[in-house]
Amino acid sequence: MLKLATPFRSPHTSERGAKSSAPIRDRSERVEPLLLVEDKPELRAMLRKALERAGYAVDEAADGSAAVTKIRSRRYLLVLSDLKLPGCSGLEVLHQSKQADPTIPVILITAYGSIEEAVAAMKDGAFDFIQKPVDLQEFQDTIRDFGTYWLRINRPPPTAAFLESDPGART
C-alpha cells in the first residue's frame, strides 16, 4: 500500500497553491505510476501531459496486449484504457487488471460508448467511463475524483485524540 508523505496537505493544492489531484508524496518515496493505454499517439500524448501536469508518473501502452503484459509485471496506481484497442479490448484490460489486483481502479475511455457498455464496465469493476472526444475539464475532474478516492482509502484512520479535538471529523 502507498503511504502519504508528511505533513499532509490538501489533495487539491500544491505548494504553490495550484490545483492538483495527485496523491501527495515526497521525492524520495517510490510511487506506482498510472498506466495509460491508448492506441492513438496524439491522444495518448495529450492525456499523458495532462496527467504529468497533475503530478502523476505515467507509463504507456499502445495496445491491449502490451497493457496486459505491463499489468502482469508491475503494480499500477490506476489504469486508464481506451475501450477499442488492437491486441485485446479495454474490457479485457479491465478484467486482467482486476485479476492482477482487485483493488486497482480502472477508467475506460471510448468513442463508441453506449449506456449499456458503461453499465457493463462499471459492473465489471471500472472506476469510471469517459466518452471521446475527451473533454480535458471532464478528464481532469475524473482524475481529481480518483485522487480524492485514493486519499480516502489510503489515509490512516484518524486517531482518537484527533476525533476528540475535532468533532466534525466524525462525519
Domains of the chain: 34-170 (3.40.50.2300)
Of 115, 162, 139, 155, the residue nearest 56 (C-alpha): 139
Tell which wins on pLDDT, 68 or 3: 68
pTM for the complete prediction?
0.71
12 residue type, one letter:
H
| Segment (H or E) for 11 | none
Find the mean pLDDT for residues 9-23: 42
Q: Predicted confidence band at 153 (pLDDT cuts at 50, 70, 90)? A: confident
Asked whether residue 144 carries a pLDDT value surpassing 60, the answer given is yes
Task: Look at residue 4 in the predicted model and tell me its pLDDT.
Answer: 29
What is the rounded distance in angstroms from the CA atom of residue 56 to the CA atom of residue 129? 20
Give one word for 25, left, alpha or beta, with left for phi > 0 and alpha for psi -120 to 50.
beta
More confident residue, 146 or 69: 69
Instruction: Specify the DSSP class assigned to residue 144.
Output: H
Cα–Cα dist 105/98, whole Å: 8
Instruction: Write out pLDDT tens, residues 94-142.
Output: 999 999 999 889 999 988 767 777 788 888 899 988 888 888 888 888 8
- CA–CA distance, 163 with 151 (Å, rounded to integer): 18
**What pLDDT was estimated at residue 20?**
47
Q: Which residues in 2-90 belong to E strands, given as ranges?
A: 34-37, 58-61, 78-82
